[in-house]
Structure formats: structure tokens, C-alpha cells
Chains A and B, each alone.
Chain A
Amino acid sequence: MEEKVLTRLFGVEGITRLDVYRREGGYKAVEKALEKMKPAEVMEEVKKASLRGRGGAGFPAGVKWGFVPQNVPKPKYLCVNADEGEPGTFKDRYLMSHNPHQLLEGIIIASYAVGIHAAFIYIRGEYEAIAQRLEEAIAEASGNGYLGKNILGTEFDLDVVVHRGAGAYICGEETALLESLEGKRGHPRLKPPFPASIGLFQCPTVINNVETLSNVPSIIQNGADWFLKKGLPKDGGTRIFGVSGMVKKPGIYELPVGTNLRAIIFEYAGGMKDGKELKAVIPGGMSAPILKADEIDLPMDGDSVVDAGSMLGSAGIIVIDRETSILDVLKTVAKFYAHESCGQCTPCRIGTSWINKIVGRLAGGEGEKSDLDTIIHLASNIKGTTLCPLGDAAALPILSICQKFRRELEGYLPHA
């Protein structure tokens, strides 16, 4: 399909090698940006393309770059968030392992636009082989004058460093990522100050997701209008939807922003597996509130999913069938957030653990009548009161599961 932007070259033999990538038109965008465009023009193009962040929050990337103050004597940094830990999300690993140079190209252009000379790729610890592949790509790019001093004979310098995480979900939260990168505990920071002004090592910092940056070369190469046309006016381009769960063809699907959720599940992913019946969908990674089977006629763009009471997040779509007990879903969610809460702030540290204890007891057949109300009460007290978004990420799916599937869950409570 010709609409593909990010995964267009995935099938090309040897594409992870620089020579093949270049033969397929790679690094042309870097050449265009560095040789023919001013940094401000690059930033303007990305702003015009309405490239929204692909990590989960969906903030426009060009606008984010524009927040970095240009008149400070400190160095500026780019951090690439490759700490892909959101359950149900597995797109960045493909982008990095199948086309590492595309990401590097995006990094170079973004750095050029913002005036950055050092970029860090903070990659999930488990992605060891991918980190290795990135190192190889960086070495190749450096050897060919795309990284290092005087890139392509211009004044522009850039070094890229790969840093592997140590296995904490919270380090995907941008400020915890910065702390971790600085060698500290991965505890989120208070905002403000925002990383754009005070970030890594107290310096102005841009933090972008892998998929976000991987889009940048095409935008520069083909122009903002071309990119916008692929998606929606306020949300340009394509998204990589990761579909998992009870579908015939789980995997990643690159589709225009705004593609219908039902179509993604039933057409692209081949529909339900083994004739099973759809019960629920988590549309944007586990942090997103759950949707019932009758709520999935929905364009998959940021605003539409929010209007439907959930969020697009990382576009990781988890498909749940009728035979799957909703209590098991709740248990998985509760356990995950209790395990991954960093422990810094009170509501998340104790709230997620408390909910997990109740759900565990429920699942063990020792539920009490008040349990569901207690869970809802606790999740409501976590929501909006925590230091970082992990609190909401835990509370919202739990609340939605308890509210939308209350009747089924009540079946696990003792009857009066």
C-alpha cells in the first residue's frame, strides 16, 4: 500500500545497512535540511505538518521544539524515548530494528532544527539486540559523515549515544527518563520546570518518541502538505497500530491517523480468532480506558478517542474476547501498575498496591461486597492527585473496567 511512511522500506533486503538505505532514498532529507534549509525553516515545516507525539501524550512535536530557548549559553540535548514499556505497545522496536537509519535521520534533522549537538537514545533494557543494531547504524552513519563533526561538510556537529534502561516502566515517563539517564533513580520530576527549559543535566532538552522522530525525514523530504494529507488536519500522517490479543493477525499496521478502530480489528487484523466474540478493546496501550464492543466505531485519532472516553496513547490495541474474564483483565492491569509504581508519591505508591491487594483477594475467591466500591473510591483518589501521569495511567483503566463491567465483576462478589 502506497500510503506507508514509516514502514515503507521494512521489506527491503539489507535496509538496516546504510548503503541500502541510501540507495532507497535515505539521508536525502538530511542533505536537504542541512544544505538547503535554515533550522527555523525545518522547525516550521514540522509544525505545519501537525506531527503529534507518538509516545502517548500526543503533543505537537514542532511546537515542543519551539519551546526550547535559543538564547541560553548551556548545551541543548535531544533524548529519544525508546523505553517502550506500555503493555500492548510494540511499534518502536520494529521501527528501530527494521529501519534504524530512518530514526537516525530524524534525530539529525530534529537536532539541526533545535541546535542540538548531543542526542541520547534511551532504549528499553530488554531491547538488547536492537540497541546493538542502533550502535552499528550510528557507527556506520559516523563513518559516512552523517554524524560527528561537520556533518556533510557543514558547520553542524552531532553525536548520538545509546543508553539502555534497567527495566523500569516509569523510565518511559520523560522526566524519570532524564533522571535515569543522569544516573539517578528513575523518579519523575516535578513540572514545572519543563524539560524544554530545564531538562537533562539542567539543560534545555527535547524528548521525542521513536515513532515521532522516524516521521521527520519524510516530512522534510516530501513537505508538510504531503504529510498532512496522509492524516487529519490537526493530526497529520500515519500511525503504527499495534494489535494484540484475540485477533487472527496480531501485529503492527501502519494506517492513516483516523482509521476506524473496527476496521483495524476486523479488516486489517483479520477479525476475531477462532470465531470468538469481541468483548472489549483497550485502544491505546494499557493506560487507556477500556472500550466496550459497541464503542469501537471510532476514528483512531487523538481527539476522537478522547471524545469516546479513552485515549489514543501509544496506539497499542488490545483485543479482548467474551471468554476472557474481565476480572483477569483487571488483575493484570492492577498488578502491572502496583509493580511498576516508582513509589515516590503517596497516592500511586499505596493506592496501586492497595487496589492490587483487593483484586488479588477477589480473584482468590475472597471478595467482599464493598470491594468494587472501594476500588472505585481508591482509583478516584489516585486520579489527578499524583506527581506524574502514572497515577492516571493506573486509575483510568481500572475505573473504566469497574464501571463498564460492573455487573460481570459483581458476579465475583459474595451474594447477600
Chain B
Amino acid sequence: MPKIFIDGQALEVAAGLTVLRAAEEAGIQIPHFCYHPAFAPEGSCRMCLVEIEGLPKLELACSTLVKEGMKVQTTSPKVIEARKGVLEFLLAEHPLDCPICDKAGECKLQDYFEEYGLFQSRFNETKEKREKKFALGKTLILDRERCILCTRCVRFLNEISKTEEAGILSRGIHSEVGVFESELVDNNYSGNLAEICPVGAITDADFRFKTRAWFLEKKESICPRCSRGCNIYIDSHPGFPRVPRSRRVYRIRARKNPEVNSHWICDFGRYGYADLDQGRQEALVWKKEGRDTPLSWTKVLQILTEKIRYLILRRKVSRLGVIFHTNLTNEELFLAKRLFRMDLGVEKILLAEPPPGQADGFLLAADRTANRRGWKEIGLAVDAADLAGLAGLDLLLIFGHYLAASFSPADLKNCLDRVETKVLFASHKSSLDALVDFVVPVPVSAEKSGSLTNLDGRVQAFRPALDFCGDGVPEWKALLDLAKELKVDHKYYWPLDSPEAVSQALKKEIPFFQ
């Protein structure tokens, strides 16, 4: 462990660290553009220059390794002057179009100018004219006037996606980011380029001119679109209820987690946010004789309780069926197992899942549900949904709308017509809606609390990133309400009043989750 001094502060740091990383660990930020923790140091922006005692020139913090006894100055007059110099150079050829730039508010060039610049421009010359709307990728637009040539995008395509679609073309002041053979950046990770661009050079066509960064509320969540469990931020307009055709979520961004997704997410996950606002169930309804009658959850709960009590009394629990999916949280699946299998002894518990996709060899997994591993660990044995087995049931509780994706509407209708009462708990509309008696809107994972277990067995807890706007009820609450109303094992269920409380019980009972 070399002992070093940064701005007079004595630090013991791990050998092999760069000065920049060592400083970061001590809470000292050294400004940088081209450095990114996921890439090999590039050293081209020259923003991270620091003074190291005994060396004649300023040195790069991003590439210089710490050495025993090294004395680093990050705020000496020489360093400050060099930083100003770099900013002055970058801003000289920058269009300064922050008022119409989507990066404004989260732009390193803006931030650093506020912090280290604040000079009057001496630039009296004509700026270079460059392409401002170059189609770089499927969803990416490159503004070459804003580009500071940090080459983070090029290095991402070389080192991370390994698709190598782009490079630097031309020389000197005419250098520019370009694609080879006029092809687009086209891979499942392209959206990361807009995120790692430190300025507004690469913007997401999907986000361009839609809102300002400072209007957005940034909340942590877990991507539910495959079993990887990538950590994400969901950026939304606060106070924007889900009104038809208005936008609540503006973008999804990667949230760093070295154990799961490093700094990245895939485009499939990133651009899936339309799902959060589109095609959602909005009202709890009773579908009676072709008409939707609004109902409250209390009322539905009452009807359900009566029907199940009746089946228990008549010893006809075998005529109760439940269909699940593995996008439910660990807590919900745990409650489902406890209530239906252990307390009520329901035999007919089935699974209806979204169809699997193709794994892409990096983050995106073939399994397109968020919690299949959690379901396995909880040990809720089920059969895959089979229509023939459903006919003749008195009551069917359907969680999720995925049946609609697996069977034809005619087959579904034929089968469900032979079930007396069908209750659908779904977040999204589907052809199933017309075939059931009650539709209860439920939140998506971004709108609820709980935890998911990713394909590697990592249990990741999350809190709501968005408000749940439907008049339905989260599945965990529906299950708890039902258990409490049925008065099965009152002592067990009574203290459970939140996903956190359920999580405690889960951890106590299943060692995997401890």
C-alpha cells in the first residue's frame, strides 16, 4: 500500500491505482473528459493534468500510477492555469449552443467552465463549420461542432461492444468522429454512446428536444426486461400523471454496478420504457355482459374471499386455479407459494411467461422475465400453463397478461368460457381483458417495492421510481389482503404489511435470501 500525498492529505492507497482513482477514493475530484473508468486511459483531453513534485511537466492523473511518497497537487496555480487553458481551447471551437442542447445541465464542459473557467473568451476568429445532424446510429445523432474528440464513443465501440463501427477521420482541427463505409452504429448497446458522451455531441434521437435534464426526476430501479437485472435510472417528469399520449418517462439510463452491468445497459432495456406508459390498464372493472362496471378493490376482494371460502367449505379447492409469471418480485412469489400452495393447498398453480428471446452474449439474456431465478429459489413448483387443464374451474386468478402471447384468442376464449369466474391482475391491456370477469390493474416493477433475483442469483431490492397511477393494487398487497380476509394463519399474516416485512419473512424462511 503506497503512501501518497494529494493536496497535502496523506493517503494509503492500493498499488496500481492511478492518481485520478486514488484522488477519487479520497473524495478529491479531478476534472476529466476522455477518461472513463471502463476504458484504458487515453490521455487526450488533457483536462486531468496535475502537478507531481519532482517532475518538470504536469502529468496526467488518469494514466499516472501512484508511487510511494508521491506528492500530488490538484489545485496549484500551474494546474489551475492548465485547466483553464484546456477549457479555453475546447470552448473556442465549441458552438456554445447550450440553450438548445439536450446535454445542458448535465454537460461536463458546462460544469467545468463554471468550476474552473469563468474567463472571457479571447477567440476572435471564425469557428470551424461542421455537420450538426450526422446520423451516427439508429437512434443517435452526432453534432460535430459540439464534439470535443474525447473518443469515448470510439473506444466504447472498440472495447465494450467490440463492434468497431466508428473511428476518428481526418486530421488536426478537421478531425471528426465518423463511421466506416457510411454504415450506422448498429448494435444492441448503441444507446450508451449518448450517455458516455461528456458533452452534447451524441444525443439520443428519442430524447432530443423533448425536455430539459433539470426537469427530470432521477430514480433508481432495476431493468425488468430480461433476467440480467441491470441497474438503471428512470428519469421522469414528476407530477405528470399518466395521461393518454402524454409522456411520463423520458429516458432510462444505466446505473453503475460492477457486479451486474458495469456502466452499461442494452438498447432493448433502454428503449423499452414506452411500455411503462403505453397500453396500461387504467381502471379496475367488472366486465358484466359486455359492459365495464367500475369497482373498488375492496369489493373485488370481498367477492374473491367469498368464492374461495365457499370452495374451501365444499372441499373443492381443486377447482381453484392460479396462473403466475416470474416478473413478480421475490416477495410476491413467496406470498403466492405460502398462501395458495401451503395454506390453501391449491394444486393447479401454473406459469404463463413471455416468450424467451435470443441472448446477445453480453448483457441481454435469453430469459425475458426478471425473476425466474427467484422463483426457482423460492421453490414454487408449477406446470406451464396448459389450456386443457383449466376447463371446468370455478375460479381462476390470472397474474399477468402473458397467456395472450402464448395462445390464440380463439383457443383462449374457448377455454376460459368454461371457467366460471376469472380475475385478471395485469399491468397492461391485452386480448385477455375481454375474456375475464374482473380486471385489476397492477403496477410494473418500476412502480413498486420489492426485490428481484437475477440470473446469477443476485437479489436486488428496489423502491418505486414512479407513482402507480391505476386504481388497482400491487400484487403483494392483493395477496396479503386475500390472506388476511380468508383468515388463514392469522398470526403469520397479520404483522406483514409491506414488501419489506414480507422480505424479512422470506429471508428467515429461505436461506438463499439471507
Contact = CB atoms under 8 A, between A and B. Distances in A.
B179 interface: no
Interface in B89-119: 89-90, 92-93
Interface string B38-81: 00011111110100000001101001000000000000000001
Nearest to A341: B172
Nearest to B168: A185
A30 interface: no
A345 B45 contact: yes
Given A381-B85, A381-B89, A385-B85, A346 B45 contact: yes
B126 interface: yes
B69 to A, nearest CB: 18
Contact of B46 (A168, A345, A353, A358): A345
B181 interface: no
Interface in B278-321: none
A350 B171 contact: no
B149 interface: yes
Interface of B is mostly: loop
Nearest to A392: B57
Looking at B41, B63, B172, which has the most chain A CB atoms within 10 Å of its CB? B172
A343 interface: yes
Contacts, number: 97
A384 B41 contact: no
A281 to B, nearest CB: 27
Nearest to B167: A185
Nearest to B62: A190
A349 B149 CA distance: 10
A385 B173 contact: no
Interface in A308-333: none
A349 B172 contact: yes
A361 interface: yes
B246 interface: no
Contact of B173 (A168, A343, A370, A377): A343
A370 B173 CA distance: 23
A376 to B, nearest CB: 11
A241 to B, nearest CB: 29
Nearest to A353: B173
Contacts of A384: 57-58
A340 interface: yes
B44 A387 contact: yes
B365 interface: no
Nearest to B84: A381
8 contacts: A190-B60, A345-B45, A346-B86, A349-B89, A350-B92, A353-B172, A354-B123, A387-B43
Interface of B: 41-47, 49, 57-58, 60, 63, 81-82, 85-86, 88-90, 92-93, 122-126, 128, 148-149, 167-168, 170-175
Given A354-B92, A387-B46, 8 more contacts: A185-B167, A342-B172, A343-B170, A354-B89, A361-B124, A384-B57, A385-B46, A385-B86
